[in-house]
Amino acid sequence: MPYMLIAIGLALGYLDYLGSANVKAAGALVYEEFTQGNTPFLKWFGALLLVGLIGYIPEMQNVSLGFLVLIVLAILLSHNSALNSIMKDL
């Protein structure tokens, strides 16, 4: 976690160095990735969070694990470039 915060801080510092136009463009890009498009990040995050929370119920752990696997497969299959990259590396 600390490494992620350092990386985010370095990225924001670099954007600040480049100027305000680039900061606005980067902000618009991040907003679009999180909220718009065919498969927005928030939709996948919500699905993973809900299934993860269900996994805390002892009787539902196996069901939750199965749904987590299905969600990860759906993410990989819905983004053809990610799947092609993985297949190329194998």
Domain residue limits at 62: 38-90
pLDDT in tens, 35-45: 776 767 788 88
Please name the residue that has the structure tokens 């939750």: 64
Residues 28 and 50 in one domain: no
> What is the spatial distance between Cα 79 and Cα 39, in angstroms, rounded to a whole number?
9
> What share of the chain in percent tops pLDDT 70?
86
The span from the first CA to the last CA of the chain, in angstroms, equals: 29
Alpha-carbon distance 27 to 23, whole Å? Answer: 6
Residue 44, classified by CB atoms within 10 Å of its CB into exposed (0-12), middle (13-18) or buried (19+), is: middle
Q: Are residues 50 and 7 in the same domain?
A: no
64-70 average pLDDT score: 90
21 & 48 share domain: no
